[in-house]
Every structure is written in C-alpha cells, then in structure tokens.
Structure 1
C-alpha cells in the first residue's frame, strides 16, 4: 500500500530523496486515463484513441467523450465551444449550442464575455470565430486549463502538451511523509513543467499572444450597506446552482462536520429527496469528526446519508492521480490518500462539493495588525508561507502589480479565489473520474462571488454569512456544533478523554 505521498522538490533540493520526474508519468500511463479532458491547438496533433475531434477554421479541439461540448454560435455559425456543465442565466444547465448573434447588436468577444459573466457552473469557453480569439474560465476556474505559449496549445493537463525538448521538467515528485510546504505549482501559474503555465480564474487566455489577461475585477469592490439583501441573493443563488444539478437526476453531495457543507445543506433543504449525502472515511482526527458529525446530522434531520469507507491507495493509484491532475494533486496529501476511497462513490451521479465556500468567511484566515496597512507582495508571500523561490517571487510580483484593488481583504479574497480554488480545485475535478459523473462547485459563480466579497469583512469574519443563511433556511442545523463530535462512538471517546484530562489536572 502507499504509505508515503508525493510532494515536490526543486533539483537542488532533491538530495537522496526517492523521486519521479513528471515526464515519467507519460511513460507509465496514456490518454485513456484522462477522462473528461481536452486539448486545443492551432495545428492538428494526433487525436488520442477514442476521443472526438472538431475544427473551426484553423483551430482544432480534441476531447474525451465524457466531456460535454456545445458550440457557441453567431447567427447559426459556430464561432467557438463551451466545455463542461455551465449554468445559464435562467438557472438551468446548458445542454445545447449557445447562440450569441443578434441583428440589434455587434457581436464580438467582449459581448460574449459579458454574457459568460452571468453564467455559473463548471465550464471553459473557447471563442475563435469572432474579432479576437480567447479562452475563458468559469468564476472559480473549476475546469482547469494549462497552456504552452511556445507550442500554442491549451489543454486540461500538462501531459497533453508534447515535450518539445528534454529538460522541461521544473520539479520532481519526491516521496515522503507530510507535512509539506505549499507547493509552487499552485501559485501564479507555475506548473511542474518549465514551458507550461496554468490559467488562473478571473483571467482569459489571449489566443493571439498566448498571454493570460485579467478581466475581473476591473475596479475596487464596492462594499454593501444592505447585508440582508445580499444574504437573500446568496441563499437563492446557492439553491439555484444546486437545483440545476439535481434537475439532471439523482445527485450526491458532500457532508462534513464543517460550515461549508452545512451551509449548502441548508440551501438545499427543499431538494434533499433527490440528494444522497456522502462523507469520506479518512483515518485522521478531522476525518473521524467528519464521519461522527455527519452521521449525527443525517440521523437528526432524517436525510439520506452514506459513509464512503476507506480503501487504502496503492502506489499505482496515487501515480495515476498525479497523471490525471497534471501533477497538481501533489499539493494535497489527503487527496492522494483518499483516491481509492473516492471510487466507492456512485460514478453515475454528479457530485456537489463545497470548494469555494470558504469565501463566506475568508477574513477569518487573514490577520492584520493594522487594517490600514497596505499590503505588499512580500507580506502576502510571508503570510501564506509561500516558498520564496526566484520564480515564485517574480511571478507573485507580476500578479500583485496587476491587481486593480487596494483593500487588503479584497486582495486576500482574490488571492484565495485565483491561487487556491483555481490552482487546486480546478485540476482536482479531473482526478476522480470513477467517483462521479462530474464534480460541481455551487460557489463557482461570478455574481455569487461578487456578492460575498461586497459584504463587510467584519461581518464575514464573525461567520455572519454562515449563521444568517442557515438561520433563514434550516435553523435546527445550528444546534449541532461545527467541527466537534458530541455524539456517536467517536463523540463518546472525545468526551471521555476530555473528562479524563480534567480529572488528572485536579
């Protein structure tokens, strides 16, 4: 069994560690493992076996059959593609071509961008038949995209982009035990390969220059004075996004001891007859609390619930996860160890996860000695323990200089959205094709994220969003403590242990 996990090491830091280079994964696996993935190129490249191929002009798109692909059309003519599971402005999943043409307006890429801003869900939009070619991500970047500017290729994985020359591996996978420092491929577009970047949320890929360009936010976020109105919008938007998935059929949804899944459960109250709630059995302290609290919630609230029992991962399982995620899963030890456990879910049903819900309380994770302090990139790197490698500092400085906002809490929000949810959550959705029909994040929604970021930081820091949304939808859920097992076998064990400690202190 896989007793160790993989992290990342630079060449000078390898020492005597057991390592595996990224290019070796291409020798161990092939594209049949890349379920639901794709590649876009200006020149035709050999299509992976069993994949579909389409072309618009000189642009070639190849994709696995598990990935939904619709056309963007202008007066009936295809001008691009939408990949994934987008939710349109009406609140339904898009399942047909998306028409943007109109005799009353000039159709250009900027117009399409404004339409996409109203979408939610998991998608990438590729526009190649209008004035300027671009590739856009959903609001949280939940469908990961990497690209090689030199080869003019965009793809879901670094391993779908050919190795043009030897020595392109930036980092090696190193075997060991955690904890590990934050891995640099998560940050500022860096990947395990020198010639490949990943595209952050809030940026489009200019397919003429092959550069990432920020398109949101364009100006400082305006903070609201009407908290109640925003909370009503947030509640309805989360419910709407969950409903769009549930309307496709039976659905599975995450349930843990934490706030994020409890918030989603409250918003989904009227939909629970079509949802099976699931909790992974992970053999650590947090995992045991998740199972105990989730069981208590399910029993008390009478919802359908299933514990996905632990299945130990083999070395081969973990290597396959690294391959499927383009190397990005090296950032998360729990995701590596749970790869086989996840296969105990139902692959015929979508899976709704809480990634991005941290935006409801992001100021909790951000401590400022002086709230009037102006942030610098050095301070940001220091606060989050980023490795101060030259490429991280250089890319971080470029990212920071491009921000059109000064408020420190807004900067911290944008950092989390672009460098955490996009760089981690977007690629992790490729990692477990045996676990669900597709993975869906209800918080991947530009308008929802804007609304949350408009709330006063003090309100979010005091868990106002979580408490007010749950109170308005299912107040009984607040009677069960967050992240603390007070019932069941593990709850009994924790209570007995606390009692024993008190007795011993006397």
Structure 2
C-alpha cells in the first residue's frame, strides 16, 4: 500500500511495511516510499514534520529531507503558501500544535475526533468497512452504486470528516481553522490589485519554473489530451520538452477519439516523445480495492484507469498534471455570474451537480457561512478549490496503488492567489488560458482546443456543442445523465 499515513496518540497496528515517526505525543505511521521531511528554523530547531512530495526553492523533494523556515506559520505569515505539491504538515499554527493541508488538499486528510485518529483515508482507521458506512449519507449518495463524490468534508462514515483545503486542524481540540483566504474579496483585491499583465508574467514564470524543477530531478510523464489543462501544461513545459515522455490513453467514445486525434496532431507537429496506451480491463476485485483505498468516498471514471496506471508506472517516474488549472478558466462560473451576489445553498448544490437533500443543504449552508465575504465568482472559485479539489482530486490519490502521485505546478496558495487576482471578465472570457499559451508557446494554439479541425468537426458534434457551453453547466449535465 502506497501514499497513506495514519497517526494517533494511542497504540495502533499499522499495515505491514509502515514506519513510524513522532510529533509531540503523536505517533505517525507512513507507508513505504512516503517521504518525511523535518521542518527546522534558522537555528536548526525541529519545528515539525512534512509528509509528501513538494517543490521548494527550485528543488523537488521526493525523499526524506529537511527544510528550513523562518518561523512556524500563523495567520499573518505562512511559509507553506509558496510550497507546491502534495503534502501535509505537522507543526504549530498560531501557537497551537496542528496539521495543515496543501493548497488543494491534494494529499487527502480525514479525522475521527472522538477516537483522536487522523489518516490519509478512512480505510486506514480501524473497524471501517463498506458495511458500516453511514446510512444517512449513503441514502443521499451511495458511491458503491452511483458515480460521484462527497463534498463539504463529508465521508462515507459517521464521525469521520475530511479536512478541507487551506485548513489547520488543531491537534488538541480537533477544530479546523481556515488558513487562506483570510480576508473578504474586496480587501483581497485591494491587497493584490496588480495589472493582469504583471500577474500573467508571474504565473507563467512560476509554472514553467516548477515544470523545469521536476523534470530536472526525475523521469517525467505528462498525459497528452485535447483540452485546456494539457495545453497550459504543454506551454509551461516548452523548455523541458525533451525531458518528458508523453502518453495518451486509448479511451472510448467520441471524447476519447477526439483526444487521440488532437494528441497525434500535437505530437507530430511539435516532435514530442509520445505513445498511445491501450487501457487494461479493471476486474471487480480491483474496483473494490480502489474504492476501499479511498474510503468509499469517490466513484469516478478514474477507477477505469487504475489497472493501466499500475501496469505502466516505472520506478522513480513522476507524472506532471494540470489539476487545479481549472481555476484559471473559471470552472464553476461564467460571464453571467459576474457582479452577482453569492449563491444560496440550493443554487450552490445545483451548480456543483448535487441533489438538494437535507444533509447536503445543511453542509452547504455551513460552508457558505464560513467563507470570507465575496461575490458569486469568488464563492465558486473557492468551491472549486475546497470542494472539487479537496473532496475529489485529493481523494483519488490513494486509489491508484502506485508509489508516486502526480504533481501539479498549479497547486500552491500563491498560485491560487495569483489566478484569483485577475479580473473576473478576463478569466470568464478565456483570456488567461489563451495568454498562458501565447506567452510561453504560442504555436500550440494553431491546433484547436477540444475541437476537431476542418471537416472533422462533423464527426464530433457533441464536442462542438460542448465547446460553447459553460463548464459548470457541463458538470451539471454530466451529473444528471449519470443518474
């Protein structure tokens, strides 16, 4: 078992092969290959531990190490906001021993307050099974029979909560405190009121620099499709292109065929090291194991990739992915939302594609009440980061039983802060995604995004219609069609 941890004050029996570390009176057991880095101050004093993979100061850390920070994080200063990767941090926050997530909680964390246990997945917590899932939760959404994911920090088991992104979990009280953003939207924009051009330059330098850092450190894979995330990632990889092997899975349906067609055009025109990979079948036993490793909290098409991922993974090989890049393209909102008031719980659930049940409505209301004040666009951006990334993308990390996770150069607080500082109109019109490509590799735009070229468009009518549809509406339709 890979990419998992569990910690407690009491003695537990971890899975075979796990090693132990300590933070104060907590014992932390980590799976094979999960890096543990000591956090030290300038005088060499140990402040805590960081579990996971991350980029810091032009270095990609993928093994046990030590990092230096000036002081433990607080509301006024958080040195982990500049770190990019998948990680959790054990250290003080505002003077309280805490556990902190990465920007998108792409390294997942769940916790059982009554038993004082914290883990990467509910499956790590003793006595958690498919049979003792919470009846009230699965009455709303049973992920053993339905596609979907649990938002707002819900899990499949009563008493176990998911720690949302940009939170500090107090290890004494088990209260979760927001670490970012801490100011209302108006104040946020006053403090980050730079021009779109200045922000674009900073974002492009950050993305390309992080890609270069990873490719210089380890063998690197990137998946090649026809969408915007691939095109932004490919743009950022221009200076590192000879150090990356590209793959495209031969998925079915018209969408898969379009991805394959566009991937071939990109690889041929820009001389990429590229291969197509046939998908291996996923057995029912493999599907059950995947669901168990994620704590029965996600049922998605990515399960269909699990056997293939395990089959093609090579030792030391890291995948660069565009997860979190959706913030650049206003994933849950469009130009009609600009200037509107924040959504009600009912509208938020509809936008996310969930049923308006009593449990979900109550969870949505509490989440909205805990947000810094802002417009509809502000709320939908944070919904993508905290609910979609933290409750969907992060959960999937533990599903594929391979040693290394994918790494996204977008996943850091400073990058989210930059992307959310652009004007709403600029992002809603798709300007940011296009300008990232224009700035870093403009020739890539000669090949259409998610659309066929010329007469081939007649073969992909659904994709042509989809290209004109707001992303949030597409997500709602997908959810509706799966029911």
Please give the TM-score of this superposition, normalised by the length of structure 1. Answer: 0.82
2:128, 2:433 → 1: CA distance? 49
Instruction: Indicate conservation of the 8 Å contact 1:298/1:304, yes or no.
Output: yes
Alignment correspondent of 1:404? 372
Root-mean-square deviation (CA, aligned residues, Å) is 2.5
Q: 2:20 aligns with which of 23, 33, 53?
A: 53
Q: 1:210 aligns with which of 159, 168, 174?
A: 174
Paired residues, number: 447
Alignment of 1:412-427 (within 5 A): 412-427=380-395
Alignment correspondent of 1:249? 218
Alignment of 1:13-24 (within 5 A): none
2:323, 2:198 → 1: CA distance? 24
Instruction: Indicate conservation of the 8 Å contact 1:255/1:294, yes or no.
Output: yes
Alignment correspondent of 1:27? none
Structure 2 alignment gaps of length 5 or more: 462-483
Q: 1:118 aligns with which of 32, 57, 82?
A: 82
Q: 2:296 aligns with which of 327, 332, 337?
A: 327
Alignment of 1:315-394 (within 5 A): 315-330=284-299, 332=300, 334-348=301-315, 349-362=317-330, 365-366=333-334, 368=336, 371-394=339-362
Q: 1:201 aligns with which of 165, 180, 201?
A: 165
Moved more, 420-429 or 382-391: 382-391
Alignment of 1:456-471 (within 5 A): 456-471=423-438
Q: 2:49 aligns with which of 61, 81, 96?
A: 81
Are residue 306 (structure 1) and residue 275 (structure 2) matched?
Answer: yes
1:497, 1:380 → 2: CA distance? 31
Q: Shift of the alpha carbon at 1:370?
A: 7.3
Change (3 A) 1:204 1:70: same
Change (3 A) 1:464 1:214: same
Alignment of 1:106-185 (within 5 A): 107-110=71-74, 114-127=78-91, 131-163=95-127, 167=132, 169-170=134-135, 171=137, 173=142, 180=147, 182-183=148-149, 185=150
Q: What are the superposed Cα offsets for residues 452-495 of structure 1, whole Å, 9 maximum, x if unpaired?
A: 001111111111111111112211110101112339xxx85x64
1:327, 1:309 → 2: CA distance? 27
SS of the counterpart of 1:247?
helix
Alignment correspondent of 1:25? none
SS of the counterpart of 1:338?
helix
Q: Shift of the alpha carbon at 1:375?
A: 2.7
Instruction: Indicate conservation of the 8 Å contact 1:206/1:212, yes or no.
Output: yes
SS of the counterpart of 1:217?
coil
Are residue 428 (structure 1) and residue 396 (structure 2) matched?
Answer: yes
Q: 1:227 aligns with which of 193, 196, 214?
A: 196
1:109, 1:42 → 2: CA distance? 23
Please give the TM-score of this superposition, normalised by the length of structure 2. Answer: 0.86
Are residue 442 (structure 1) and residue 409 (structure 2) matched?
Answer: yes
Instruction: Indicate conservation of the 8 Å contact 2:39/2:46, yes or no.
Output: yes
Task: Choose 1 or 2 for highest CA Rg.
Answer: 1
Instruction: Indicate conservation of the 8 Å contact 1:100/1:112, yes or no.
Output: no
Instruction: Indicate conservation of the 8 Å contact 1:279/1:308, yes or no.
Output: yes
2:76, 2:378 → 1: CA distance? 26
1:123, 1:429 → 2: CA distance? 12
Structure 1 alignment gaps of length 5 or more: 1-33, 102-106, 499-506
Q: Shift of the alpha carbon at 1:369?
A: 6.3
Alignment of 1:273-292 (within 5 A): 273-292=242-261
Are residue 97 (structure 1) and residue 66 (structure 2) matched?
Answer: yes
Q: Shift of the alpha carbon at 1:363?
A: 5.8
SS of the counterpart of 1:97?
strand
